Every structure is written in C-alpha cells, then in structure tokens.
Amino acid sequence: MDKSLLTAGPPAPPAPTVRIAAPPADARLLRTGDGPEDAAAYRASGGYAALPDPATLVDEVDKSGLLGRGGAAFPLGIKLRSVRDACRADVRPVVVANGEEGEPASVKDRWLLRNRPHLVLDGLRLAAHAVGADTTYVYVSDPVAAEAVRRAGGNVVTVAPGYVAGEETAAVHALNGGPPLPTDKPPRPYQEGVAGRPTLVSNVETLANLPYVARHGADAFRAQGTPGSPGTFLATIGGAGRAPALYELPHGLPFTDLLERHGVDPDTVHGALMGGYFAGVVNRQVLDLTLDHETARRFDTGLGCGAIALLGADTCPIAVAASVMAYFDRENAGQCGSCFNGTAAMSAVTAALRDFRAEQADLDRLTRWSVVLRGRGACGTLDGATNVAASLLREFPSDVEQHLGGACSTCADQPFRAERPFEVRLP
C-alpha cells in the first residue's frame, strides 16, 4: 500500500518560524542584519584571507579538535587527512559542502547558506586547498539557500528534500547522477566518491568554522567549549510552548542555562528530544546535562545536529516517540529490508502504545528490535529509530506503564500528533 494513503487528512498547520537569537559578543557564526552578507562585508571582516600552507592548515585543524556539525561529530582533521592521503597524481579530490538539511527540527544549515554564504564558501575553499581538490560543490535542497549561494559565486547542486538525502553517500550518489539515496559502504566517499574520485563531504556548519581556525589558530578556537568538544555550535531549540529559536552556544553550556536564555521554567520540562530525531528522548535528567558530546554520551544521548525539542509537562513522550517513529517509517529510503520492515514494525508498536492498544508482548518485541536492528541499514535512519525505541523504554518507564495500563492524563484529551514533529522554518 502507498504509505501516503495512510497519512491523508486535514493539512498540517504551518511550521513555526524560528527567531534568530542575538549573537554573542564573540560570535563566530551568527550575525545581525537581514539578508545575505555580501562579499565586501565578508572581506572587510577578514574573510577570504590568503591561503595558508596546506599541511599547516590540516595540522591546525587537527589541533583545534573541530568536530563535524552534521550529526556524527567526526573530527574534521581526520577527514581532511583521509582525503589527502587518497589523492593520486592523476586524480584530484572533490569537496562537497553538505547543506541538505533533512532534519525537520533544525534550520542552522539553511540559515548559514541563506545569510552567510561567503563564510561557507570560504570554508569550502580552505577545505579544497587542504586536500588538493580542484572541484567543489554546495549540495542543497532549499531553493532560497541555493539562490543565495549562486549569487555568492558557489557551484550549487539542488535535490529534492528528504531525511536520507543528506547522508554523505546519498550526496555522492546524487552528484553522480543518481537519486539522493544512500549507497552501501565500502567504498566510502573519501575512497571513491564523486566521479570515482576521493571526496570530502562535510556539513556546511563544519566548513563555516574553518575560516576562524585558519585566521586565528587552534588555541583561539579552543578558547570556547570543552576539551572534548571545542568551539561553539548552532542550536535550534523548540517545544515547551515557546517560539523556536536559533542560538550560537559554547559547548559545555549547562542545559539549565539554555532554558534560562530560552525563557523556559525548568520545572515545566518533562524531558527533551535530542539531536533532532536521531538521538532519542531523555527524561528530566536532561536538566543535569551540559551541552557537549562527552557528557551527552554519558547520558546515553547525543547533540546530533544541534536540534533540541523540549518536552513540556503537557507533552507525552510516548506520543512524541510514536510521531517520530512514524516519520522514520515514511522517510526511509525503502532500499534495505531491515530498515523498511524494522521502522514499520517499531512504528506500529509505538502507535499502539500511544493509543492504549499495546500489550507486554509488543513491548518485548520493541525492546528486542531496539537492539538487534541497530547498525543494520545503509544509513542512519534505522539507528535513529532504534535510538528512539531504546531511549523511550529506558527513560520513561512509568509513562510506558501508564499507557500499557490504558491511562495517561496527558493524552486524555488529545495526544501529541505530528507528521513532522517539532518542525521549524526560517522567516
């Protein structure tokens, strides 16, 4: 059956517009002003500086500890070295700025591309110089972002939006003329990517940090953040009845400080959906979290792409998990049987739990699937679904028991339902 038939109904209300928070005094990424920053203003701020020695630049990136901002938090220095080492005299690498922001709860990449295209292109230029690339692309699905980058002089490739379209092998597949769908690994893009050449695929926010590292050095970059999570990051915050906002935050900021900035009373927070949809849900212990990767791992969660949806006291985590799982079921690429069938099965159980139809045997199956299906897909979609299932069962056992028993005061009137939970949009 066509899955679109299962979601027919009244049109969903438009996603709320994100407020752009005032940049901190020492901002590296956010800026004030409306519309795209032009080349003259960017150059006046020190942009497009003379290119450093490539080896020195890679060393400095290594020392900076700059981690990828697309979700996996992989060290950029290792990526740069891998592509450089794969380079041959007769084959030059390719560098791709990945701005296909398939995460509905995040706007950071689109904001950067729309408002600071030269910062992204400068980072792309530096990355290409570091690995010896002679071809670069900016890969996007947002037409407004694409136009801003074209006007700035970038080489843009656009695709239809989709949750899996931003996966690095999906980007390579699209640039090679195929659909924006993930492919099997190996080979990985750094081994064989666009046109069979070694390819660096890096998130646009990651690349937007490169000019700062090149201009000011690793020590200055590390002046903010933590030893394991240096620098600042862009965070899209939504939920808890507040208008969503985009912030530039230092890694290591206490979660309660974020709530204070966002105007949310900690007593009203039931938990959070972390890292966009991928990292799953956390209960009220999230109030003890600091916003860095090493602490997030200790809490069995992650920062992912920097999107955090707050669960207010009137938001049931069971219903949220069911909506996220249904999204994964709809958005999977349909290429891997384990993902196609696994997301459908887990979605059916979480929906039944939300609707007070689940039995203990269903939860036993969900528990097992959350373990045995992990790592089985070609991309991260199935892992995201298993994260949601495992975290729901681990973090909210009392809510699960209430739903299993047929009662939930939060869902008594109208449970949380959304085709794209906590989706946000730019002005």
The 10s digit of each residue's pLDDT in 196-216 is 999 999 999 999 999 999 999
Q: Domain boundaries in the chain? A: 26-221, 232-312, 317-404
Q: Are strands 281-282 and 269-274 parallel, antiparallel or unpaired?
A: antiparallel
pLDDT per position as a tens digit, 251-289? 999 999 999 999 999 999 999 999 999 999 999 999 999
Residue 384: pLDDT above 90? Answer: yes
Whole-angstrom Cα distance, residue 320 to residue 313?
13
**CATH number for the domain whose boundaries are 317-404:** 1.20.1440.230
Instruction: Please report the pLDDT score of residue 378 as a whole number.
Output: 82
Whole-angstrom Cα distance, residue 7 to residue 3?
7
Residue with tokens 């020590």: 219
DSSP-derived letter for residue 159 is -
- Residue 155's H or E segment, with its range, is none
Three-class secondary structure assignment of 29-93 = CCCCCCCCCCHHHHHHCCCCCCCCCHHHHHHHHHHHCCECCCCCCCEHHHHHHHHHHHCECCECC
Whole-angstrom Cα distance, residue 377 to residue 334?
10
pLDDT per position as a tens digit, 285-296? 999 999 999 999
Helices 117-131 & 108-115, crossing angle to 10 degrees? 100
Instruction: Please report the pLDDT score of residue 413 as a whole number.
Output: 76
Q: Among the CATH numbers 3.40.50.11540, 2.40.100.10, 1.10.260.40, 3.30.300.30, which is that of 26-221?
A: 3.40.50.11540
Instruction: Please report the pLDDT score of residue 9 as a whole number.
Output: 45
Whole-angstrom Cα distance, residue 109 to residue 234?
9
Instruction: Please report the pLDDT score of residue 424 as a whole number.
Output: 97
Residue 11: pLDDT above 70? Answer: no
Helices 381-395 & 397-404, crossing angle to 10 degrees? 90
Structural fold of domain 232-312: Ubiquitin-like (UB roll) (3.10.20)
pLDDT per position as a tens digit, 409-421? 888 877 789 999 9
Q: Are domains 26-221 and 232-312 of this chain identical in fold?
A: no
| Percent share of the chain, pLDDT over 70 | 97
Whole-angstrom Cα distance, residue 386 to residue 392?
10
Q: Which residues pair with 311 in a beta bridge?
A: 271
Mean pLDDT value across the chain: 94
Q: Which of 297, 323, 292, 290 is nearest to 423 (CA)?
A: 323
Most confident of the ranges 177-191, 210-224, 333-347: 210-224
Question: What are the start-end ranges of the E strands in 187-330?
Answer: 199-203, 232-239, 245-250, 269-274, 281-282, 307-312
Side by side, which strands form the sheet with 269-274? Answer: 19-20, 245-250, 232-239, 307-312, 269-274, 281-282
